[in-house]
Amino acid sequence: MAKEIEGFVKLQVKGGQANPSPPVGPALGAKGLNIMEFCKRFNAKTQEKQGQIVPVVITVYKDKSFDFVIKTTPAAIQLMEVAKLKKGSPESNRVKVGSVTWDQVKTIAESKMEDLNAFKIESAMKMVAGTARSMGLTMSGTPPWGASEESED
Amino acid sequence: MKTYNSYTIQSTSEIIVGLLSVYPFESFEERDDFMIAYIPEDALTEDVKLEIEDMLNRFDVSFTIETIEPQNWNALWESSFEPVVVDDFCVIRADFHNKQENVEHDIIINPKMAFGTGHHETTYMMMSAMRNMTLTDKAVFDYGCGTGVLAILASKLNSGDIDAIDIEEESYENTIENAQINNVSNINVACATLETFDVKVYDIILANINRNVLLNSAAELYNRLADDGVLLLSGILEEDEILVSEKYKQSGFHLIKVYSKGYWKCIQLSK
């Protein structure tokens, strides 16, 4: 029989570096879970993503056991990294603070396909591009579907 | 333990998380309609604070800031954990459990926020492997000691002196506390890394850590193991077993045995 679910906890923690400090400590400790067991499993599973912010959804069962699913790093964080930005735009609709290439947008979109509600890579790229614009980033070059719709430079 | 500041932000926007990620926030918690972002208090300078507030105000997002003092977040689990029996030869229990009869070794662990109670497969396999080894009068090195449970078991198996190190302050303090509770006096505990700790040669090395640390430690551990010594590695997921064992073989070790439990592997090596 399937275990009865008590609830879900959604965290974003650095890969390979989960420790009993907040938020892992208070979020899991308050539910009576063994925090150190979560840290051991999460850190082992995210050795390839050392230091990157990694979203994780933890299913907490009534018997105080748990499972978790690791998601891909948020597109906004990946965009900040590839654009090498120290901060976002003060007015993203008017002041542009950096740019990313469509190839970079495609790489991020590909990494996010499993988590995004998109069937085609072009749809995922448009979602990532929308996030980029909201952060004050422009796309340089021509998108794969042609210059007329998306080119900004 | 660190003191943290938490920002409770009335938004779950990924863009806000992205923009906050350039500041020294260590982690985020997402709730249904708000998020909590955590930053170490000593990293939240006045300049950083002003920049964060400016950014959140620009997005017209309301927020509050709280200080979170260090505490034992594991207290609730700790108050109700069940004793663990390893291969019918060793019990690990808290000080509030009754002592169990008919086992060779009784170990009391009050884990607080350190790792190692025997509940986890990685610790269980190490203890199981230690049962099959001769530790009498052997010099032992517990690398990444956590609660100190492996060092304490080594002492109960009549080992010689034990050096136990951990990079985490909580683990260092917890190992000292647990050694005292178990009346074990031959463990020298240090808060250190392999690079900062004294270079000595040991008969037995115990390392229950993680893949990346183990991969980076192969050469150093080779230098610290006696010619007829034994190295036990744990904290290795089954998909990482080949990577770790090949690295250690390239560093001069010989594979003796691989233990399996759940999704985890424990590797025994010699020189």
pLDDT recorded at residue A91: 62
What residues of chain A lie within 8 A of the CB of B237, using their CB?
44-45
Min Cα separation B236/chain A (Å): 7
Q: What distance in Å separates the CA atoms of residue B192 and residue B198, rounded to the nearest whole number?
A: 10
pLDDT tens digits, A94-147 = 667 788 999 999 999 999 888 877 788 998 999 999 999 888 888 888 888 876
Min Cα separation B162/chain A (Å): 24
Domain B4-78 CATH class label: alpha beta
Min Cα separation A42/chain B (Å): 11
Confidence of residue B184 (pLDDT cuts 50, 70, 90): very high
Min Cα separation A149/chain B (Å): 23
Cβ distance of B18 and A23 shorter than 8 Å: no
pLDDT tens digits, A54-108 = 999 999 999 988 999 999 999 999 998 898 876 665 665 566 778 899 999 999 9
Q: Which residue in A35, A40, A96 sits closest to A60, CA to CA?
A: A35
CATH 3.30.70-classified regions of chain B: 4-78
Pick among A8, A24, A34, A61 to test the B interface (most B CBs inside 10 A):
A34
The residue of chain B with its CA nearest to that of A86 is: B22
Whole-structure pTM value: 0.84
Q: A49: which DSSP letter?
A: G
pLDDT recorded at residue A19: 87
pLDDT tens digits, B254-265 = 999 999 999 999
Residue A152 has pLDDT above 50, yes or no: no
Cβ distance of B17 and A76 shorter than 8 Å: yes
Cβ distance of B237 and A10 shorter than 8 Å: no
* % of chain B at pLDDT higher than 90: 76
- Stretch 82-111 of chain B: residues touching chain A, C-beta under 8 Å: 111
CATH 3.40.50.150-classified regions of chain B: 119-270
Cβ distance of B119 and A37 shorter than 8 Å: yes
Average pLDDT (B155-165) is 98
The shortest CB-CB distance from A77 to any of B18, B119, B170 is to B18
| Alpha-helix residue ranges (DSSP H) falling in chain A | 24-29, 35-45, 75-82, 102-112, 121-134, 147-150
Strands B35-40 and B27-30: antiparallel
In one-letter notation, the amino acid at residue B230 is V
Domain B119-270 CATH class label: alpha beta
What residues of chain B lie within 8 A of the CB of A19, using their CB?
168
Edge-to-edge strand list for the sheet holding B105-108: B84-86, B90-93, B105-108
pLDDT tens digits, B17-68 = 988 988 999 999 999 999 999 999 999 999 999 999 988 998 899 999 999 9
- Stretch 153-192 of chain B: residues touching chain A, C-beta under 8 Å: 168, 170
